[in-house]
Structure formats: C-alpha cells, structure tokens
Amino acid sequence: MRYRLFTTGSLALGVILLIDVLRVWLPGIITIFGQAASTPAELMGAFALVWFLLALAAPALVRRVGARPVAVTAAVLLGAARLALTATPGGRPQLWLATAGLLAGLVWLVGTAAGTDRPVPGLALGLAVNAAVHALLDTNDLVWRGDWVAWLLSAVAVTLFLLSTALPGTAALPDGPAGPGGVRAWLLAGPALLLAGMVALSPALARTGTSYLVAGDGVASTPLFGLAPVPVAVAGFLLTALTAPPRRLGRLLGPVALLAGAVLFALDRGDLLVPAVLLAAVGLGACLARTDDADRPATAADAEDAGRAEGADADRSATADNTGDAQGGVRAAGRRGYAVAAGMLVFALGSVGYYSAYDLGYPNGAVPVVVAVLVAAVALTTRTAARPAPGPLPPLRTTAGVTALALLAPLLADGLPVASNRDGPPERLTVVAYNVRMGFGLDGRFDLAGLTDVVRRQGPDVVLLSEVDRGWLLNGGHDTLDLLADRLGMPYVFGPAADPVWGDAVLSRWPVTDPRTLPLPAVGAPTGAQALAVTLDLGDGVRTAVVSTHLQPPPDRGPVVQARAVADFATGYAAGRPLVVAGDLNTEPGDEAFAQFTDAGLVDALAAARPLATSPADDPREQIDHVFVSPGLTPGDVVAPRGTASDHLPVAVTLTLAPR
C-alpha cells in the first residue's frame, strides 16, 4: 500500500505539472508560433498535433529501454521545463521550453502507464488539486507570477514529484508487476483532461457562469463569490471518482450527468455554465470510477487461481505461469502505453478542433459532446470487478481535504470593486479603449502587470476592452476580465461575442445601469462580434451612454455592415443622451466602415492627434482603434501610450461634458 500511495502521489503531481506546462504551451501556439489571424489556423493546428503524434512512439521506447528509466528521465525533463518556464522572458525560448515540457510529460505518462494498472486515483487527485490551486490563485498561474512565492511553490512541487518518481517501487504495484487492467482508465486520461479543463473543473468558467446568474439579460457583471461553484465541483468529482460505482441502473447516472453537462456547455448560454460545470464534474468522476480496478481479479486468492495453468504438473505449471506472466505483463504495459498516448491525442484533436472553429468558422459545439460520449461509452462498456479492491486514497478524507483547499478561493476572494458618484457629476470623463488580446503580450507571456500599468497611468473613468477571454482552455483557462477588474478596482459588465466567455467589456468608476448587448451580423467572419451598451450614472440625473464593440470584418472586406449596425444600435440606445462608442473597429479613417459612424452624427474623438496608429504595438502602422462621441462631448488630451502588453496600443481621451 505504501508504494501504491507513492505511485498515486507521483501521478497526481505529474498531472499538475503537465497542466501547468499546457497552460503555457497552448496559448503559445497562437501568440508565439502564430500571430492569430495572420497565421493559417491549419498550420497552427498541425504544429499542435505533431507533438502528440510523436508520443505514439513512446511505447516502443519503453519496450526497448524499460518503463522505469523512461519514466524517470522524462520526469526530470518535465520538472526542469516547468521550472525554466517561470524564468523565461517569453518569445521563442518560452515556446520551445513548453514544447519540450509537453513532450516530456507525454513520454512520462506512457512510462508511468507501463507500470500502473490503477491510474484513476492519481489522475483524479491531480485534476482536482490543480483546479483547487488554480482557483486559489484566482486563475493566475504560478508560472506567470515570477515572484519568490511562485518560485518556492513551483520548486517544492517539482522536488516532490521527482522524489516520488525516483523512489523504488513507484513504477509497479507492491506485489510485483502491474496487472493486466488499466487500459481503459489510461485511455480516458486525455479526454478527462480536456473535459476537466474546458468545463468540469474550470474555475474561470465557474466564475463567468456565476457572473451571468448575478446579472442576467445576456450580460455578465462582477459577482461577489464567483468561485463558489468550484468547491462543489471538486467535491462532486473526487467523491464519485474515488468511490465504488453503483451497479445496475445506477451505473447510467455518471454518463448521463457528463453528457448533460457537455450539452449545456455546448448550448453557448451564459446562464447554463454553472449547471454545466457541476453536472460535468460529477459525471466525469463517476465515469473514471467505472474504469478503476477493471478486469482485475478481486482478491489475492482469485489472482492465484487465475494464474494457475489447468491440467499441468506443478513444476511445469509454475514455469509456464512465470513465462506467461512476464509476457502478459509486457503486453499489458504496451497496451496501457498506447492507450494513454491515444487518449492524449484525443485531447489534442479536441482542443484544436474546438478552438480552431473560431478562425475557420465551422460549428464546434459537438466537440465536447463527442468527447463526453466517448468517455461515457468507455465507462459503460467496462466490466468492473465484482469485489473492487480498495484504492490507495480514503475517499471521504481525500475529498474533504481537497475541497477545503478549493473552499479557500471564494472565501479569500477580493470584495466587489465599488463604483461611486459621491462627488456628483464630473466635468470630465477619461475614456480608455484597449484590445487586450486575451491578456497576452507580444512576447507571449500573460502580462497582467503590463496591461494594468498602461491603463492605470491614464487615470480612466471608464475602460472599454476588446478580445477579453474569460476561460478558454486554449488561452490557459484564465478569467482575464476579473483579474484586470480586481487590479484596476473597477466593476465590469461583460458582453459575449464568440461565445459566453469571449467578447468585450466595460469597466467603470461610475455606477452602470441598463446593460444591453447586440449580436452583430457575421457577414462571413468566423469569430462572433457584438456591441455592449451601458449607461453611466454620473449623479444628479446626469447620464452618459457608452458602447464597447470589436468589429470582425470578413476576409478581404471591411466591416461596413457591422459598423452600420453598431452606429444604429448606439444612437438608438443613447436616445439623445451623450454617447461614447469605442473599441477595435478594424477600419481606418476614410474607409467606408469608418464613415458609418460619422454619417450617424458622431465625431472622431481622436481626430486632433491623427495620424494615431495603434497596431501592431511594436511597430504601429494601422489606425484601427477608435473613439467616437456625440457632438456634446469635447475631446482632448488624446494619447496612444506605447507598450507591448498586447498586440494593440490603447487609446485614451478626456471628454469634457457639456454644461447643464
């Protein structure tokens, strides 16, 4: 039992480190290897898949060299890559370090699978602890922080992982070679990782879902205890994963819950995200539990009976048994190795297939449902032992401990930022519009500090953000909006565009009322677009309308249709009140789309400072980020401060309100 516990702990720690590496590597596909829309999605997808295909050769390496040398060597490389990522300045070194860490992690999984026939406790513990810690860190990973606390915790995790991997016996069960089972459990490692990161155990998705429940009406606003669903999801997942699954009709409950959660997620409705998380977490854990201890004799006596050759004399039977056991062990190890490599390929295909749809334009809602169907099918067709052997982890105590860790996240979360109009209507409003590229700078690092600093220096009253990501696994699963709002001390309202966790936002120091969102016509553009309108309550009956948008033009065309829709929506919403329309409009002054706003009676608030190029941030050549205002607002102090915390520069302008 001691060795089995070490094996479980080593597997859990390795899963945690591998997820850390994936949270760096996945965004690097877009921000470093490719440059979003400027690099073909097919090329980025091919780059992503090739490393998972290479891992299919790892079982042959294990057969030639041995499971233990392969697993230990790969573990050292994974740990080294994880630590190095905390120090790397970004760019190509970061991408290749993350790629090396990913490949090492895949090979380590194959080597570990060769000697482990009961991976479910370790996999489940790793997924649950990672989710709890990610929530506790407010969805901002240690690898991006770079302070001494991040270094210390990362070093401790890597050290414990390497020690547990190097201990004798951790690559096999205490009674000898690993048994014949575990193939189905290892096959589900990749699909479980995908569904956990995308839905079931995503703290960012849970908080985003809570923000919709708080606000309603198709928009989302700052929740007080946004991470509250996370401990519930972690507890449900661990408890169902570590306890014996029900029999007869009860065995359908887990697969049905998982499928229901995946379908709710695929419906792309913000108010359904929280039930999607909870159902998927419970269902995923239950499906994993059905593959634990499968196809194994239930007791030592059963194993002895099963291994005895019938009808042979004792000596020849023992020899045959030993030879058969050795050959069977090698075959079982190979099957487990290929199973985990294939399962991780499912992870890659699911990730690439789901998120590349936002560049290529095909429907992607079926991806999580298909992966959930695969997991459910494997679980339902698995024959579990009649008397399941006890696992290495006590279910109740383990669940209580990890849930307590997750429970700290909502309890320690910052309070709500407070908007105030105590001083009455201001004479001026400073507006900042910024395309934040999901929080990633030109160097490919998640740069909250850089984004916050450049915005804070402008002293804004209202901030309009484009390309806001609130939980995409592809971008590391961060809630970029909530993280920025906390640092700026400004409440937010969020308008979904591509899906419920990607879109535009308004942050305001003044109270916000009457939020509305308008989906914009796609006109051939694959990524969704919207316009988010809010009203700033400046006190004493003074109100100003603000509209945040990000136009997405179709290939080789301007966003004329979308621009006209935004102009009509904004002027109608303002109904004669002062109006501000701003964002990444993907159009230049003088273009037909630009003229849609001026023809609607709006004024180019940045005109006095033009030319004012804002993209790309390191060599600005295009004027595509704009602020338009109604004639009653007088613009001044226009600036596009330099910085590389995004691929765009922000634009800032101070607006003088007309005297009452």
**Bridge partners of 430?**
654
Q: Measuring CA to CA, which residue among 510, 530, 518 is closest to residue 578?
A: 510
Residues 106 and 13 in one domain: yes
- Tell me, what DSSP letter sits at residue 38? G
Last residue of a domain, one of 378, 412, 446: 412
Residues 399 and 432 in one domain: no
Residues 603 and 519 in one domain: yes
Last residue of a domain, one of 387, 412, 437: 412
Q: Is residue 420 part of a domain?
A: no
Q: What is the pLDDT of residue 332?
A: 82
Residues 509 and 641 in one domain: yes
Residue 172 has pLDDT above 70, yes or no: no
User: Helix H segments across 167-295?
Assistant: 183-187, 189-195, 203-215, 229-242, 253-266, 273-291
Residues 433 and 408 in one domain: no
Q: What are phi and psi of 598, to 5 degrees?
A: -70, -35
Q: What is the pLDDT of residue 7?
A: 84
Q: Measuring CA to CA, which residue among 294, 451, 267 is closest to residue 368?
A: 267
Q: Cα(149)–Cα(132) distance, rounded to whole angstroms? A: 17
Please answer whether residues 59 and 334 qualify as being in contact, where contact means their C-beta atoms are separated by less than 8 angstroms: yes
Q: Cα(215)–Cα(418) distance, rounded to whole angstroms? A: 16
> How are strands ordered across the β-sheet holding 512-519?
512-519, 530-539, 542-550, 579-584, 625-629, 603-604
Q: What average pLDDT score do residues 13-37 get?
A: 90
Ramachandran region, residue 491 (left: φ > 0; alpha: ψ -120 to 50; beta: rest): beta
Q: What average pLDDT score do residues 536-549 get?
A: 94
Q: What is the pLDDT of residue 573?
A: 98
Residue 179 has pLDDT above 60, yes or no: yes
Which are the contacts of 534, defined by CB distance < 8 A and separation ≥ 6? 493, 506, 508, 512, 513, 514, 515, 516, 545, 546
Q: Is residue 555 part of a domain?
A: yes
Residues 289 and 367 in one domain: yes
- Give residue 178's pLDDT band: very low, low, confident or very high (50, 70, 90): low
The CATH number for 138's domain is 1.20.1250
Number of helical H runs and strand E runs in the chain:
23, 13
In Å, how far are 162, 531, 599 from 564, measured between CA atoms? 59, 12, 9
- Give residue 52's pLDDT band: very low, low, confident or very high (50, 70, 90): very high
Q: Is residue 418 part of a domain?
A: no
Domain count for the chain? 2
Residues 290 and 171 in one domain: yes
Q: What is the pLDDT of residue 304?
A: 41
Residues 502 and 464 in one domain: yes
Q: What is the pLDDT of residue 308?
A: 37
Q: What average pLDDT score do residues 165-177 get?
A: 54
Q: What average pLDDT score do residues 589-595 get?
A: 96
Residues 443 and 304 in one domain: no
Residue 278 has pLDDT above 80, yes or no: yes
More confident call, 523 vs 20: 20
Residues 458 and 351 in one domain: no
Ramachandran region, residue 200 (left: φ > 0; alpha: ψ -120 to 50; beta: rest): alpha
Q: What is the pLDDT of residue 527?
A: 85
Q: Cα(184)–Cα(254) distance, rounded to whole angstroms? A: 16
DSSP states of 556-618: TS--HHHHHHHHHHHHHHHTTS-EEEEEE----TTSHHHHHHHHTT-EETTGGG-S---BSTT
251: containing domain? 2-412
Question: What pLDDT digit, counting tens, does each position of 449-506 carry?
Answer: 999 999 999 999 999 999 999 999 999 999 999 999 999 999 999 999 999 999 999 9
Q: Is residue 328 part of a domain?
A: yes
Residue 186 has pLDDT above 50, yes or no: yes
Q: What are phi and psi of 414, to 5 degrees?
A: -65, 150
Q: Cα(377)–Cα(291) distance, rounded to whole angstroms? A: 11
- Give residue 565's pLDDT band: very low, low, confident or very high (50, 70, 90): very high
Hey, how many other C-beta atoms are within 10 angstroms of the C-beta on 423? 8
Q: What is the pLDDT of residue 335?
A: 93
If you count them, how many residues does the chain have?
660
Q: Is residue 93 part of a domain?
A: yes
What is the residue type of 522? Answer: A
Structure tokens at 334: 């190979």
**Bridge partners of 626?**
583
Please answer whether residues 10 and 166 qualify as being in contact, where contact means their C-beta atoms are separated by less than 8 angstroms: no
- Give residue 301's pLDDT band: very low, low, confident or very high (50, 70, 90): very low
Q: What average pLDDT score do residues 301-328 get?
A: 41
More confident call, 313 vs 168: 168
Distance of CA 437 to the CA centre of its chain: 15
Residues 622 and 555 in one domain: yes
Encode burial over 145-154: b for 16+ CB neighbours within 10 A, e otherwise.
Answer: beeeebeeeb
Residue 273 has pLDDT above 90, yes or no: yes
Q: Cα(239)–Cα(297) distance, rounded to whole angstroms? A: 24
Three-class SS state of 369: helix
Q: Is residue 422 part of a domain?
A: no
Residue 428 has pLDDT above 50, yes or no: yes
Question: What pLDDT digit, counting tens, does each position of 365-383 carry?
Answer: 999 999 999 999 999 998 7
Which are the contacts of 575, defined by CB distance < 8 A and separation ≥ 6? none
Q: Measuring CA to CA, which residue among 426, 431, 427 is closest to residue 639?
A: 431
Q: What is the pLDDT of residue 357?
A: 87
Question: What pLDDT digit, counting tens, does each position of 190-229 carry?
Answer: 999 999 999 999 999 999 999 999 887 789 999 988 999 9
Q: Cα(654)–Cα(283) distance, rounded to whole angstroms? A: 52
Q: Is residue 396 part of a domain?
A: yes
Residue 310 has pLDDT above 50, yes or no: no
What is the residue type of 598? Answer: T
Please answer whether residues 165 and 17 qualify as being in contact, where contact means their C-beta atoms are separated by less than 8 angstroms: no
Per-residue three-class SS string for 145-172: HCCHHHHHHHHHHHHHHHHHHHCCCCCC
Q: Measuring CA to CA, which residue among 552, 546, 612, 626 is closest to residue 579?
A: 546
Q: Is residue 146 part of a domain?
A: yes
Residues 600 and 645 in one domain: yes
Last residue of a domain, one of 362, 388, 412: 412
Structure tokens at 204: 């960012």
Residue 6 has pLDDT above 90, yes or no: no
Q: What is the pLDDT of residue 307?
A: 38
The CATH number for 618's domain is 3.60.10.10
